């Protein structure tokens, strides 16, 4: 089965604010399964629904997974909300929607995440370190925020300029191929 394509910066659909999920039904379960497939295939440690062009408040996260170990225990989080931000940590982040770029981002070191699972059960997860960073990165996506919005203007502008050139080349390659 074909994977859902990941939207890439500067696609405007990444900037939408996603809608809360009212009902957990089969189509939502299917979306969650598809998102996990994309996350493991790319690979990444998290994915938010808007990255696959669905404006719903759904994220999947698996910070324990590595290609070598390959054990998959994704957290599927419906309507996630963060509170109790504590401490500060700087982590080098990347994003499947921001190709070929990484940068250091300052985030809270610890957060409390509340969400529903796919059975509608309330979850409460106290996260720290990489998992806390990943939760903050993915919940940002639901509000149309990318990690490049949280770095210095200088670094962001450099990336935006580089991405512009890259996209021009991609367009030229595409028109040459057709």
Q: What is the DSSP letter of 6?
A: P
Residue 28 binds to Zn ion (criterion: CB under 5 A):
no
Residue nearer to Zn ion on the CB measure, 61 or 95: 95
Q: List the catalytic residue out of 26, 84, 138, 174.
A: 138
Q: What is the Cα–Cα distance from 47 to 72, expressed in whole angstroms? A: 14
Q: Which helix (H) or strand (E) holds 93?
A: strand 89-95
138 is catalytic: yes
Cα–Cα distances in angstroms (integers) from residue 170 to residues 11, 124, 157, in the given order: 14, 43, 20
- The residue at minimum Cβ distance from Zn ion is 95
Of 35-43, 54-62, 92-100, 157-165, the window that binds Zn ion (rule: CB under 5 A) is 92-100
Options 28, 56, 77, 95; binder of Zn ion; rule CB under 5 A: 95
Token pair listed for 171:
């367009």
Question: Site for Zn ion (CB under 5 A): how many residues?
Answer: 1
Token pair listed for 80:
């996630």
Catalytic residue IDs: 138
């Amino acid at each position: 089965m074909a994977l859902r394509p990941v939207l890439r910066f500067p696609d405007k659909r990444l900037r939408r604010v996603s809608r809360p999920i009212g009902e957990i039904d089969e189509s939502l379960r299917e979306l969650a399964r598809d998102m996990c497939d994309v996350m493991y295939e790319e690979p990444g440690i998290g994915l938010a629904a808007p990255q696959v062009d669905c404006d719903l408040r759904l994220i999947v996260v698996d910070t324990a997974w590595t290609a070598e170990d390959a054990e998959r225990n994704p957290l599927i989080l419906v309507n996630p909300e963060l509170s109790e931000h504590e401490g500060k940590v700087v982590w080098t982040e990347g994003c499947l929607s921001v190709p070929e770029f990484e940068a250091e981002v300052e985030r809270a070191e610890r957060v409390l995440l509340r969400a529903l699972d796919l059975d509608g059960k309330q979850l409460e997860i106290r996260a720290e370190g990489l998992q806390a960073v990943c939760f903050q990165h993915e919940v940002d996506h639901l509000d149309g925020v990318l990690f490049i919005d949280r770095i210095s203007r200088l670094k962001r502008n450099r990336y935006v300029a580089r991405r512009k050139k890259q996209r021009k080349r991609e367009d030229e390659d595409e028109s040459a191929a057709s």
